[in-house]
Structure 1
Amino acid sequence: MTAPAAPKLYRAIIDTLQDEIATGKYKPGDRLPPERELVERFEVSRLTLREAMIGMEIMGLVEARRGSGVYVTERSADILSPSDLDIGAFELTEARRLVEGESAALAAVTANAGDIAALREVLDRMVAENERELEDEVADRDFHLRIAEATRNDAMVLVVQTLWDVRHRSPLSMKMLERSRRAGVKPRIDDHRAILDAIAAGDAHGARKAMRDHLGRVIDHLLTATEIDRIERVRAEAAELRNRVSRFATT
């Protein structure tokens, strides 16, 4: 008999905190402990903890207040379950980094002149989408799928396409990507151009590295965009300091 799969780390955090809210350890209006304390308590990365916090926001359990922290909300009868959240953007991007790194390396060996021309056309569309600040980022998806198609491996195409489909189907992933866009993060043209140049040069090692570096930076940007507690608090404190200095200077 197969043992049941262990729950995802972010779901385990949500389950624990949800139980503590239900039993009154944290009441509506209470501020949850700071990120540093929760990371140490659950022995997880900041990425995992932020997935959990955003998941709890989607479920209606907490709300993030600018410059203050994360607070328990009034409980609602129609609260979602952690299983409704699906896969988070951090977890998904880690998987993409592994799979699409190999996709780019293989494409560097198999791509022909037509594939390279198609990738250049998609990159031009990506530049245009960035300039028009479009939210759908269709060209970004097309670029990565074109690379998979250039591998001449239908299984690779299916895996890459599935990862992108999950990206848009998962409520947790979409919420995190929405925050990233609000923070001004757009597809990195230089990253994609480096990937394309390596594939065009037939450099499998370079293509793999360029793709992994690119998706590593995507994770870094998601991390920055979800710095709810620390960054907003620092900004609020800096604004207050400027106000005090300004008042002092006019007295």
Structure 2
Amino acid sequence: MPPIGQKLYQRVAAAISEAIESGQYAPGARLPGERDLAEEFSVSRPTIREAMIALEIRGLVEARHGSGLYVTNTAPAEVAALELDIGAFELIEARILFEGETAALAATVMTEEKLARLEALMREMSGPNPDMRTEQADRRFHVEIAACTDNSAIRGVIEMLWDLRYRSPLCVHMFAKAARSGINPRIDEHRAILDALKSGDAHAARATMHGHLRRVIEDVLAATELEAMERARTEISARRSEITRRISL
């Protein structure tokens, strides 16, 4: 019986880890494809993706570009279970809940001084070459909205959620995949949030924040899907070549 509170992707990762340790998958062996694993464990493909990323972080498997995932020949790294506990999808879900209400409250107590600070962060995010500074400006923009509520407890919660993004190896790995695919902070969505805050409309501020964060989820899903699709295309191409070879004998 899985431990109480263990997430679905963790159960899948644990089962594959046990299969590797038992020798079912030998070092250097290629793991089954994402679709096959999803059917085997009766879970969604995004769950399989998170499980595979967790196994990568632990050093049990490695991704070979355009080929798939293979069991490594090295001893796995020790990574605390808590560090792997937060994935990008779970984190953003929490942000939708907390940051939506934070934006709604901030809209009711906004001042010219607070708006000026947010405008300055918008200009920083709008730089021509998105990089780590732009990402940090994105973080400060969201934390500044929390600060605008004049409630230190709310600001502390929002800062904690953002800190989790950088402390959890699983979360870091997933956002890095999104960044490599060219996904950067959406300036137009941040502008819409700021406009809603300017208007003092709590409902609009909540709605624009929710919309922005839901699109962040879509971006991460798209980034991991592209990687999975690339592996699938390579698998199909390899199978086609093998069939062509066999029928030409």
TM-score range, shorter chain: 0.7 to 0.9
2:39 is the alignment partner of 1:40: yes
Partner Cα distance (2:18, 2:130) in 1: 41
Partner Cα distance (1:232, 1:174) in 2: 22
Partner Cα distance (2:104, 2:45) in 1: 30
**Where do 5+ consecutive residues of structure 1 fail to align?**
242-251
Partner Cα distance (2:234, 2:19) in 1: 30
**Where do 5+ consecutive residues of structure 2 fail to align?**
241-249
* Partner deviation per Cα, 1:186-210 (whole Å, 9 max, x = no partner): 1000110011111111121211111
SS in 2 for 1:71: strand
2:159 is the alignment partner of 1:161: yes
| Structure 2 equivalent of residue 53 of structure 1 | 52
Percent of aligned positions that are identical: 48
* Partner deviation per Cα, 1:107-138 (whole Å, 9 max, x = no partner): 1112122111211111011112xx22322411
1:171 alignment partner AA: P
Post-superposition shift, 1:94?
1.2
> Taking structure 2 as the reference length, what is the TM-score of the superposition?
0.85
| Structure 2 equivalent of residue 68 of structure 1 | 67
> Kindly tell me: are residues 113 and 77 of structure 1, through their superposed partners in 2, closer, same or farther at Cα, counting changes over 3 Å?
closer
CA contact (8 A) 1:93 1:219 kept: yes
Among 183, 186, 189, the alignment partner of 2:187 is: 189
* Partner deviation per Cα, 1:47-68 (whole Å, 9 max, x = no partner): 3322211111111111122222
| Structure 1 equivalent of residue 129 of structure 2 | 132
Post-superposition shift, 1:5?
4.0
Post-superposition shift, 1:90?
1.7
2:111 is the alignment partner of 1:112: yes
Post-superposition shift, 1:81?
5.4
Instruction: Pick which of 40-49 and 97-106 moved more.
Output: 40-49
2:197 is the alignment partner of 1:199: yes
Post-superposition shift, 1:235?
7.4
Partner Cα distance (1:70, 1:231) in 2: 12
What value does the CA root-mean-square deviation take over the aligned residues?
A: 2.3
Please list every run of at least 4 consecutive aligned residues from structure 1 whose deviation after the TM superposition is greater than 4 angstroms: 81-84, 235-238
